[in-house]
């Protein structure tokens, strides 16, 4: 794994954003895997600014988001679809019909796994952006998730519910389930860029680099991928 240590979230956003822009400029129909949470916000801010300053064309870009809360529709302000529209899609010239977020109203795993078929039908993901949970989850693949998992409905751990409560008015409002691309779905991406900022991510980053692939720390599966770049600030890298 390639490791880049940056001085700030802002710098991390520039480094990650430039990797995405290089792909967009050099590929005729790029397919991006995107993430939500606080971590990718600096990347999206940078992408919006560059796209406007340099008139970057997103009309041929397709995107797939990693996950969505079960029960939250696209119009819900805490849904990941709403987040993506607000933080990125509304500010660039992407065709929203080419932006995919798992459906928060999915009822069965059979339905959920169709998301992987959709990704395949678009040629697979060229570049997947990831954040990381304090417990090492990627997407919403919590500890114990099979390395063979595909997109499915998953239970969130109390640690994740606690960590994500800051986005909701009340901890009880945090959905207990999500639909998430599986670990296998993520590993199918041709290139992966993982971002982590802050001391609260230091243990997960330490385990990502130091543990052999283990179900206890889902992120460690990335050691089995041949093109992963990890962008961390000094706090997230502090236990390395």
- For residues 127 and 193, the answer to whether their CB atoms sit within 8 Å is yes
Give whole-number Cα distances, 144 to 135, 147, 148, 213, in Å: 11, 9, 11, 12
87 sits near ligand GLP (criterion: CB under 6 A): no
User: Cα(22)–Cα(41) distance, rounded to whole angstroms?
Assistant: 19
Q: How many other C-beta atoms lie within 10 A of the C-beta of residue 153?
A: 17
Does position 236 interact with ligand GLP (CB under 6 A)? The reply is: no
Beta bridge partners of 193: 129, 229
Q: Candidates 18-26, 36-44, 204-212, 216-224: pick the segment binding ligand GLP (CB under 6 A).
A: 36-44
Q: Does 35 contact ligand GLP by CB under 6 A?
A: yes
Question: Which one, 61 or 156, has the nearer CB to ligand GLP?
Answer: 156
Residue 193 binds to ligand GLP (criterion: CB under 6 A): no
d(CA 22, CA 188): 20
Catalytic annotation, pick one of 137, 141, 164, 188: 137
Verify binding: residue 79, ligand GLP, rule CB under 6 A: no
DSSP 72-93: --TTSTTSHHHHHHHHTGGGS-
Contact 142, 156 (CB under 8 A): yes
Q: How far is the CB of 169 from ligand GLP (least distance, A)?
A: 17
Of 13, 17, 30, 139, the one binding ligand GLP (CB under 6 A) is 139
Among 164, 185, 188, 220, interactor with ligand GLP by CB under 6 A: 164
Kindly list the catalytic residues: 67, 135, 137, 142
Residues of this chain that bind ligand GLP (CB under 6 A)? 35-39, 66-67, 131-133, 139-140, 160, 164
């Amino acid at each position: 794994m390639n490791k880049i240590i940056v001085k700030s979230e802002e710098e991390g956003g520039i480094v990650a954003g430039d990797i995405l822009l290089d792909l967009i400029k050099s590929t005729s129909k790029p397919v991006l895997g995107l993430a939500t949470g606080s971590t990718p916000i600096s990347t999206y801010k940078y992408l919006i600014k560059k796209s406007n300053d340099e008139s970057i064309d997103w009309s041929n870009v397709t995107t797939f988001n990693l996950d969505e809360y079960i029960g939250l529709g696209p119009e819900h302000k805490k849904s990941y679809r709403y987040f993506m529209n607000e933080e990125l899609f509304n500010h660039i010239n992407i065709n929203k019909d080419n932006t995919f977020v798992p459906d928060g109203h999915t009822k069965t795993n059979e339905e959920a796994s169709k998301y992987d078929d959709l990704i395949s039908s678009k040629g697979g993901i060229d570049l997947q952006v990831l954040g990381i949970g304090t417990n090492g989850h990627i997407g919403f693949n919590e500890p114990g998730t099979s390395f063979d998992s595909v997109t499915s409905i998953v239970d969130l751990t109390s640690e994740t519910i606690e960590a994500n409560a800051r986005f909701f008015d009340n901890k009880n409002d945090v959905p207990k389930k999500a639909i998430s691309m599986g670990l296998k779905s993520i590993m199918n991406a041709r290139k992966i860029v993982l971002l982590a900022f802050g001391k609260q991510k230091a243990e997960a980053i330490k385990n990502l680099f130091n543990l052999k692939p283990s179900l206890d720390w889902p992120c460690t599966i990335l050691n089995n991928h041949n093109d992963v770049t990890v962008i961390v600030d000094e706090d997230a890298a502090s236990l390395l």
